[in-house]
Structure 1
């Protein structure tokens, strides 16, 4: 029992005498700290909802809103935190010495995966005939990605594997129903006996990286037609506990694409030796590994020698997901920064009332809306392209590479600025902001770094002339709406005429900015479009976020991006 003015602490100590000498004031009273953000609605994003309706997936809005509440809930947010704090662990052998090559994940990883697959964020859209199904999936990623990013890797690769397998109908007949299922069924077992499958891919090798032409993994034909055995080593293969992998290897006819199951139809383990897990900067919830193949059984997908052409469809899909994941990180960190600014006071006023902080948040809001709007436009093009629209397919080809380059390049700077809005609180792991910051660089590296994507844009322009027509056709839809945009498009045409590899980055950057501006001019409120064009195209901008000119109307930008963010 304590005496008046004294407190009994958990360690049994009585420190009332200290409090008394200090005038009875507690030394650890917590004030001026924001409450936890969760629970919140991760779908509360006007740019997202408007884009979903515009791109033909309005029918999915109810489900997205339900998913947004779940994604922003305390339970799902904790799953994301725990899945990253408890990284996957590799078990190469069992207790008896048998090689098993299994990776163990924290239960939170499985909770996240179960929801993602059930919500159709893996292969499900390929089994959905509704127009907008692929848009709905992308929008679901923009919402559920508020939990954490790592588990989006296997769902992305599973989604991207389906159109590749369709090039080999007999394989698609077996695997596609399971890859498009909405059931998460972890564990290495014969694929035919599972309720759902996940797919990964293995392309790069240590001597070449993105230059897969230097790959040395070999594929030797077996007696059975279409069956080969692989021998070699891959350098960066994510999600090794997936059920099947699409792998590049060198067959007698040249570099080819193969399907490699972890477990063979007869129940025996295929040789897939996980040499080690990568110790990565971020994306720590998701295991990435170096697998070794040795007489590994594989099935040919597409023709011999056509491996890159076959698997490029998978890359196009996963590049879209890189744009989507970056847009998700932008939105998530903007919401975190806005929440902190609403509740934190400094120098006599709430941060959200401080003019310079409002400038920073508004600038971030412009970047976030531009990324989200472009992401959904790309998803719409993908959806219509797979349904036979040649013009949309051409636009998707060029615009996805452009978006992959630019949006993912903006991600690290964006997340750093959002983190800084929290000050020192943002620099500690408990805030979650360091995890987002470490995640951002991955998305510009995965599926081709900046140079690879920029050069891919040049390749598309030179080899597929329809892609340039598709891009300028899209830009023409905003002609006359903003003089700065018109001037930028004219400059883009001039720059395109003399495009060279050395200048590819500047060209692609201008393509991205004009494309984003044209979408905002057509679809965003005037205040958003005007601010974006003035700064990103008109040159009235500094070299960091928070340098919007005095004439920009900040209030409508903030009110749209961060409800209740206005100071009065």
Structure 2
């Protein structure tokens, strides 16, 4: 065999770097909101996330999807999911660094913001394993709504990572999941049909029915919605009972997902499974809403992480690749694309960390109100923008970016998920309309946050005045969501961008703030569903819809 050709003009691997330290926007946001004592740990996590070893864990976990075993060799029902060892390495690291529960276990100034920074760093490595971590983090505020039931489980969720199905009291630590949606209802959880029949004292019930999506089915406990005699209620359902008996939760199959492949998502059946009611009967949505809010924050952080990782890959490639006799990074066209992507990343990071800081300041009415309105805005806009940003970054690598070895296809497959998870775009836009119609304190908090930058950029001031006129003079102000529903996405996008612009004007370098305000304040372009009002959309849809045979 002859000698191969010499390989030149190929970028070196992006390994051996500090994922945290290389991200100026994240470092600055952490310095504003986080706990300074966590910085050394965060830097260590950043170096691990950028190491070749950890990057290999991510590849192996993604390419060796979990495997469902419904029965053992003797025919006994076991309902277990087997994961690649690299999955467990990723999980161990996430839990070791407190991404699952640390701010709840050791609260203090900046605790949730610090955890958000860690989550954003570690998500850049491999996003799928952060599902069970996020579920656990989010379960704790829901458990706290009913201390009599939740206290025991919260203590268990503060522990170490110990996989496997064993009595929860015997484990070093447990993880939580969630099972809300059903085949016939999806986001409309009030259409759920799973039954909860009282069984003994202390709120215990027997659940019979199904869940179309069960997050992280190998976790130790799940928050579940079911129809009790008094209406839709929330329940705490252990995977293994205290006596070692496996609860009657049957794994029917694992979802064959577009991305997020290292994580197991399951269809499950409850066959008289034991569960304890959490919160008042008939108040299931109100009880679990804190869990939903916390997972929505993680969706924003996870999307910000995907954009940041994509920008890092694209800028690294452009800095080390030449074309037509010049570095790609020196090309005016390429530089315009990279700068635009960097703006998207910086704005997403700034908004995600700001909302995490509002959790730290939950005793402040302004912060509570800002979190209430800021989460649907950020969840809608940041998650909706992510797929386009990731594919643009992929294109910066040319054909190399379309090849699996580049890792860009994995990021792209992951990119749509956070927009779908915990309520897709329309759910967030409609949630915004509810806030605008019913919660004037939230509107005031949003306006105060944006106005903190008033007078520093005329374009921002003009955009704020335009949106404010809609809020105080349109159908929303009168409580009539019907007239505003068709434009809810436009309004959500504009309000989210104004929050981002205010943060960048106040805290980012002038070049960043100026470019963002020059390019983003209209917020009509870049997502679907933002057509002008007054169009015959029904006719267009009819023309495009196949007819039944």
Q: Do the two structures share a fold, i.e. TM-score over 0.5?
A: yes
5+ residue gaps, structure 2: 477-483, 528-549
Matches within 5 A, 1:153-552: 153-181=131-159, 183-385=160-362, 388-496=363-471, 497-498=473-474, 499=476, 500-537=484-521
After superposition, give the CA deviation of every residue in 1:156-213 in whole Å (9 maximum; x if it has no partner): 00000011111221222211112122x1000000111111110000000000100001
Once superposed, which parts of structure 1, at least 4 consecutive aligned residues long, lie more than 3 Å away? 541-544
Does the C-alpha gap of structure 1 residues 143 and 162 become closer, same or farther in structure 2, counting only changes over 3 Å?
same
Aligned to 1:131: 109
For 1:495 and 1:100, the matched residues in 2 are separated by 56
5+ residue gaps, structure 1: 1-14, 17-25, 545-568
User: When the two structures are aligned, how many residues end up with a matched partner?
Assistant: 517
After superposition, give the CA deviation of every residue in 1:443-499 in whole Å (9 maximum; x if it has no partner): 100000000000001111212221001100111101111010001101111222324
Are the aligned partners of 2:385 and 2:526 in contact in 1 as well (CA < 8 Å)?
A: no
Are the aligned partners of 1:102 and 1:241 in contact in 2 as well (CA < 8 Å)?
A: yes
Aligned to 1:115: 93
Residue 317 of structure 1 aligns to a residue whose secondary structure is helix
After superposition, give the CA deviation of every residue in 1:125-145 in whole Å (9 maximum; x if it has no partner): 101122111111100011111
* Offset, 1:60: 1.6
* Offset, 1:56: 3.9
For 2:229 and 2:9, the matched residues in 1 are separated by 68
Aligned to 1:51: 29
Does the C-alpha gap of structure 1 residues 215 and 34 become closer, same or farther in structure 2, counting only changes over 3 Å?
same
Residue 91 of structure 2 aligns to a residue whose secondary structure is helix
* Offset, 1:124: 1.8
1:88 equivalent in alignment to 2:62: no
Residue 462 of structure 1 aligns to a residue whose secondary structure is helix
* Offset, 1:31: 1.4
Aligned to 1:551: none
* Offset, 1:543: 6.6
For 2:281 and 2:438, the matched residues in 1 are separated by 22
Q: CA RMSD in A?
A: 1.3
Residue 281 of structure 2 aligns to a residue whose secondary structure is coil
For 1:469 and 1:180, the matched residues in 2 are separated by 36
Residue 212 of structure 2 aligns to a residue whose secondary structure is coil
For 2:280 and 2:438, the matched residues in 1 are separated by 21
For 1:283 and 1:51, the matched residues in 2 are separated by 27
After superposition, give the CA deviation of every residue in 1:43-86 in whole Å (9 maximum; x if it has no partner): 12111111111114232211111110011001111101110000
Question: Which deviates further from its counterpart, 83-92 or 340-349?
Answer: 340-349
Residue 236 of structure 1 aligns to a residue whose secondary structure is strand
For 2:155 and 2:198, the matched residues in 1 are separated by 27
Which entry has the higher C-alpha Rg, 1 or 2? 1
Are the aligned partners of 2:202 and 2:276 in contact in 1 as well (CA < 8 Å)?
A: no
